[in-house]
């Protein structure tokens, strides 16, 4: 039996409030460790070579959380999962402040990372089930938090306590917002199209996210090196503008993205990214190409998660987040190895190849759908 078309969910402040508060908090802490490295070195007497371990522990914790959280969401509500994850994140931040030794501070950062990964998994699953517009809008607020985080570290004094306790306070504020306006529950719908092979479909969407995260991390890691290698000035500013374009693009997708079918929007993004990677081969045009890439990348993450929730299940979103993190691990190192062997041109060529793969995975995922009853 054919399913009725999925009605669009009206966007409102009560619907988006908890997601906005949560992703702002996640953006602040995700970008906080780097600016705080000097504070950690001064407090614990660790070397520059060692201080990066605390950020690695945080990211390791955040990468490990989505898988168990995805399994727990089969029994817990998104609201309960978010509340417990916020508590874990806040405890981790307090632990970073109170830890008397460096190993305990690193362990506390890992605990905080677990909380962050849990909040991200619950929020992305909930808002992806609402639709592409909602998930893109709340993810855009993540970028706002990331932009403000270095200013927070610099503006709150010379100690570790103020910035990390601010994050704990933001966790508490997000919890209160969730109690007042609620957390959207994961919506289970009968899709208009269902995959003939759900496992294959999930694998293709996971591969699509690997390519996307690889591009996002690859641009972030190598824009400055590529531009300075060609003698282009203002490389750091261009990198900042790239992240700004990514944030603006997510807001625009949240406003207008619901008018375009997910696979069409993803294919348009892939085509634009291939063209922009080719344009970046010309050093004089590279800054414009990189800003355009930020805009073209912006719709991919949220739209893919929303597409997955429409054709499979929003409860698979945390598992897709784990798969996507593989791209962030592999792509920067792979691009660095290619650059060392083949020269600067390997950077845009590698990024263009990832865009081509993203387009191919999108086409294959679209072909794997059949009209009709839900899987």
- Predicted TM-score (pTM) of the model is 0.79
Q: How far apart are CA 257 and CA 280, in angstroms?
A: 26
- Residues 339, 207 contacting (CB under 8 angstroms): no
Within 13 Å, how many C-alpha atoms sit on residue 85's CB side? 34
| Mean pLDDT (whole number) for 6-12 | 60
DSSP string, 183-204: -PPPP----SEEESSHHHHHHH
> Which residue has better confidence, 373 or 163?
163
Q: Does the pLDDT at position 44 exceed 70?
A: yes
How far, in Å, are 80, 111, 116, 171 from residue 83 at the CA level?
Answer: 5, 15, 11, 9
Confidence at residue 304, expressed as pLDDT on a 0 to 100 scale? 92
Nearest to 53 by CA among 38, 26, 33, 35: 33
The interaxial angle of helices 37-44 and 48-64, nearest 10 deg, is: 120
Length of the chain: 375
Residue spans of alpha helices (H) in 182-285:
198-229, 235-256, 262-279
**pLDDT tens string 275-333:** 999 999 999 999 999 999 999 999 999 899 888 888 887 778 888 888 888 887 788 88
Nearest to 153 by CA among 167, 172, 171, 173: 167
| Mean pLDDT (whole number) for 207-236 | 88
Confidence at residue 90, expressed as pLDDT on a 0 to 100 scale? 97
**Could you tell me whether strands 193-195 and 369-371 are parallel, antiparallel, or unpaired per DSSP bridges?**
antiparallel
Q: Does the pLDDT at position 361 exceed 90?
A: yes
> Which residue has better confidence, 80 or 324?
80
Name the residue with tokens 């309960």: 80
DSSP string, 77-105: -HHHHHHHHHHHHHHHHHHHHH-SSHHHH
- Residues 302, 253 contacting (CB under 8 angstroms): yes
> Which residue has better confidence, 372 or 263?
263
- Residues 73, 318 contacting (CB under 8 angstroms): yes
Q: How far is Cα of residue 168 from the mean position of the Cα atoms in its chain?
A: 21
Q: How far apart are CA 341 and CA 355, in angstroms?
A: 21
Q: How far apart are CA 88 and CA 90, in angstroms?
A: 5
Q: Does the pLDDT at position 371 exceed 70?
A: no
| Mean pLDDT (whole number) for 345-373 | 86
49-58, 193-202, 289-298: least confidently modelled range: 193-202
Q: What percent of the chain has pLDDT over 90?
A: 42
Nearest to 124 by CA among 319, 355, 325, 259: 319
Q: How far apart are CA 135 and CA 114, in angstroms?
A: 21
**pLDDT tens string 129-183:** 888 888 888 988 988 887 787 778 877 766 888 889 999 999 999 999 999 988 8
């Amino acid at each position: 039996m054919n399913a009725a078309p999925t009605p669009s969910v009206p966007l409102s402040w009560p619907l988006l409030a908890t997601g906005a508060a949560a992703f702002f908090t996640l953006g602040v802490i995700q970008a906080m460790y780097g600016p705080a490295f000097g504070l950690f070195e001064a407090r614990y007497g660790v070397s520059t070579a060692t201080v990066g371990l605390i950020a690695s522990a945080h990211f390791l914790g955040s990468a490990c959380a989505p898988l168990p959280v995805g399994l727990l969401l089969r029994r817990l509500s998104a609201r309960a999962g978010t509340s417990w994850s916020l508590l874990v994140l806040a405890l981790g931040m307090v632990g970073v402040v109170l830890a008397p030794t460096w190993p305990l501070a690193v362990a506390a950062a890992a605990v905080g990372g677990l909380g962050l990964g849990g909040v991200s998994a619950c929020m992305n699953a909930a808002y992806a089930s609402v639709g592409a517009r909602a998930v893109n809008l709340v993810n855009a607020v993540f970028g706002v938090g990331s932009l403000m985080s270095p200013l927070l570290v610099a503006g709150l004094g010379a100690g570790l306590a103020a910035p990390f306790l601010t994050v704990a306070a933001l966790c508490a504020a997000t919890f209160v917002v969730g109690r007042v306006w609620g957390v959207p529950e994961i919506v289970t719908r009968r899709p208009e199209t269902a995959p003939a092979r759900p496992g294959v479909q999930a694998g293709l969407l996971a591969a699509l996210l690997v390519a996307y995260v690889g591009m996002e991390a690859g641009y972030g890691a190598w824009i400055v090196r590529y531009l300075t290698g060609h003698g282009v000035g203002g490389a750091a500013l261009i990198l900042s503008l790239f992240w700004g374009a990514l944030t603006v693009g997510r807001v625009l997708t949240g406003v207008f993205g619901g008018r375009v079918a997910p696979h069409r929007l993803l294919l348009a993004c892939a085509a634009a990214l291939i063209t922009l990677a080719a344009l970046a081969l010309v050093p004089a045009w590279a800054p414009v190409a990189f800003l355009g890439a930020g805009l073209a990348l912006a719709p991919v993450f949220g739209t893919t998660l929303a597409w997955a929730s429409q054709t499979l299940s929003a409860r698979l979103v945390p598992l897709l987040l784990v798969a996507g993190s593989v791209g962030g691990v592999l792509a920067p190192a792979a691009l660095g190895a290619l650059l060392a062997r083949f020269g600067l041109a390997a950077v845009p060529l590698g990024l263009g190849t990832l865009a081509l793969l993203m387009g191919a995975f999108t086409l294959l995922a679209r072909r794997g759908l059949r009209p009709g009853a839900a899987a």
